[in-house]
Structure 1
Amino acid sequence: MAFTVSDETLGTFVPIAVYWIYSGIYVILGDLENYRLHTKVEEDVKNIVSKRTVVKGVLVQQAFQIAVSLLLFAVISDDNGIAKPQPSLLVIAVQFLVAMVVLDTWQYFMHRYMHINKFLYKHIHSKHHTLVVPYAFGALYNHPLEGLLLDTIGGALSFLVSGMTPRTGIFFFSFATIKTVDDHCGLWLPGNILHVFFSNNSAYHDVHHQLYGSKYNFSQPFFVMWDKILGTYMPYSLEKRKEGGFEARPTRD
């Protein structure tokens, strides 16, 4: 009998593998000082949490993510053993777009509220902002409750509302993982195709991680529409530093 892995299992574990593999690539590229948004010295000095602690924190969040994902698939799956037919590419494209908008909407308002509410910021969201200089594998370094609310529940909602199949979910959540890691990578690499299609990028999100931008650029991980609609968009210019690399400087009056 051939060994097969279900779409539900792949949809749960493939995005986690993608997270660490893609982050690992950026760890290697992190020595390219001419493409960094902050120097390595700033990364070591400004961040008040160790990389070991960040890895542990991300693994805890991913454990919650696995549990919720398996529970969700167990609830919605059919037990008749008959695989559902896969939709057309056009339907999949529409489902991707719907899921992206749902995830962005959920995360914008939850993220913004965690900044507005002083209790939630102090005790929950501030953990993520201990990374003043973001780096790739710190993308999901959050308080476990924040990880559950923003990422895990947001992902479940985008999956359910869009109506995508578990097989489509493998690709969507892997893509969302790549995008989230890319936004936190701390690098501005030439030829990054994600920057061609998305204004929400590593420089855009870096602005939010700085003190002057903490009340702006809440949108994540795909579009910037809610920031622009609701007046929390902070424009910036990407300037070269004399010592090498780039800096995202705000241009807001």
Structure 2
Amino acid sequence: MGFAVSDELLGTFAPILVYWLYSGIYVLLGSGSLDNYRLHSKKDEDEKNLASKGAVIKGVILQQVIQAVVAILLFTVTGSDAEQTGPRPSLIVLARQFITAMLVLDTWQYFMHRFMHINKFLYKHIHSQHHRLVVPYAFGALYNHPLEGLLLDTVGGALSFLLSGMSPRVSIFFFSFATIKTVDDHCGLWLPGNPFHLFFRNNTAYHDVHHQLYGTKYNYSQPFFVMWDKILGTHMPYSLEKRADGGFETRPLKEGKGE
């Protein structure tokens, strides 16, 4: 007798599993001889961050529990793939759904993220938790205040799912991809040949600028494109320069027009 796992269950838990597997790869890589590819030294990671690794793990797990509950409720309300009839969507339809979901997620996260920086109360009591990681690393990608995790990531994901019209089965692939992208943006490594660095201008170095003191009012866009930063004057270009002690450093090229 086989054991069948529903698309709804996979859509709920696959991105969580992918998060820990993919970030685990970076943990293993970071423990090796990759100092020449770090955007910050290991010493800076240990000394500048204001949250312990244990606190980060607990914070991420809490967000993922909330995320799973919302996903189960969403799939319950919208129905399952098993209830859907008709031909499978074409590659063109799937591509349209992916692109629509990416644009919706980017738009929601840009404006919510920027608002949490502009509003001093929200920044102090909610968003500043994420910025305790001055030197980002992979499994800290979803280290947020629970309310921020709900508003930015979970609600943003729900909107992208609903407005794109994707099915639970398609959502497995989309949210696993979005999870990998988010982890990669926080990995702190500029590895040669990384496809995310080749195809996305919103990447590890781009988001690293935002985590630095000079960049907290810029580069709000996440996780895919940089269009809203460019349109609304919060885009900060940067250069990647070699550090004398090994690795790279992101340096701003000019001031933006952000808040």
* TM-score, normalised by the number of residues in structure 2: 0.95
Instruction: Report the alpha carbon displacement of residue 90 of structure 1 after superposing the two structures with TM.
Output: 1.1
Distance 1:78 1:209, change over 3 A: closer
Question: Is the Cα–Cα contact under 8 Å of residues 36 and 245 in structure 1 kept in the other structure?
Answer: yes
CA distance in 2, matches of 1:123, 1:43: 23
Question: Is the Cα–Cα contact under 8 Å of residues 8 and 80 in structure 2 kept in the other structure?
Answer: no
Instruction: Report the alpha carbon displacement of residue 30 of structure 1 after superposing the two structures with TM.
Output: 1.3
Give the 5 Å matches for 1:92-111.
92-111=94-113
Query: What secondary structure, in the 3-state scheme, does the structure 2 residue paired with 1:243 have?
Result: coil
- Give 1:243's aligned amino acid: D
State which of 131, 138, 141 in structure 1 corresponds to 2:140.
138
Instruction: Report the alpha carbon displacement of residue 82 of structure 1 after superposing the two structures with TM.
Output: 3.8
Q: Which residue is equivalent to 2:10?
A: 10
Q: Which residue is equivalent to 2:27?
A: 27
- Give 1:14's aligned amino acid: A
- Give 2:26's aligned amino acid: Y
Q: Which residue is equivalent to 2:209?
A: 207
Q: Which residue is equivalent to 1:197?
A: 199
Q: Which residue is equivalent to 1:218?
A: 220
Query: What secondary structure, in the 3-state scheme, does the structure 2 residue paired with 1:239 have?
Result: strand
CA distance in 2, matches of 1:82, 1:57: 36
Give the 5 Å matches for 1:1-253.
1-31=1-31, 32-77=34-79, 81-84=82-85, 85-253=87-255
CA distance in 2, matches of 1:114, 1:249: 24
- Give 1:236's aligned amino acid: Y
Structure 2: which 5+ residue stretches go unaligned?
none
Q: Which runs of 4+ in 1 moved over 3 A?
A: 81-85
* TM-score, normalised by the number of residues in structure 1: 0.98
Q: Identity rate of aligned residues, in percent? A: 75
CA distance in 1, matches of 2:83, 2:208: 46
CA distance in 1, matches of 2:50, 2:142: 16
Question: Is the Cα–Cα contact under 8 Å of residues 208 and 250 in structure 2 kept in the other structure?
Answer: yes
Question: Is the Cα–Cα contact under 8 Å of residues 63 and 144 in structure 2 kept in the other structure?
Answer: yes
Query: What secondary structure, in the 3-state scheme, does the structure 2 residue paired with 1:151 have?
Result: helix
Across the aligned residues of Structure 1 and Structure 2, the Cα RMSD in angstroms comes to 1.1
Question: Is the Cα–Cα contact under 8 Å of residues 86 and 165 in structure 1 kept in the other structure?
Answer: no
Instruction: Report the alpha carbon displacement of residue 89 of structure 1 after superposing the two structures with TM.
Output: 1.2
Distance 1:78 1:213, change over 3 A: closer
Query: What secondary structure, in the 3-state scheme, does the structure 2 residue paired with 1:20 have?
Result: helix
CA distance in 1, matches of 2:214, 2:65: 33
CA distance in 1, matches of 2:29, 2:193: 14
Instruction: Report the alpha carbon displacement of residue 86 of structure 1 after superposing the two structures with TM.
Output: 2.7
Distance 1:78 1:40, change over 3 A: closer
Question: Is the Cα–Cα contact under 8 Å of residues 238 and 248 in structure 1 kept in the other structure?
Answer: yes
Distance 1:179 1:78, change over 3 A: closer
Q: Which deviates further from its counterpart, 115-124 or 84-93?
A: 84-93
CA distance in 1, matches of 2:80, 2:12: 17
Distance 1:28 1:78, change over 3 A: closer
Query: What secondary structure, in the 3-state scheme, does the structure 2 residue paired with 1:249 have?
Result: strand
- Give 1:147's aligned amino acid: G
1:76-103 deviations in whole A, cap 9, x for unaligned?
Answer: 1159x54444311110011000000000
Report the number of matched residues. Answer: 252
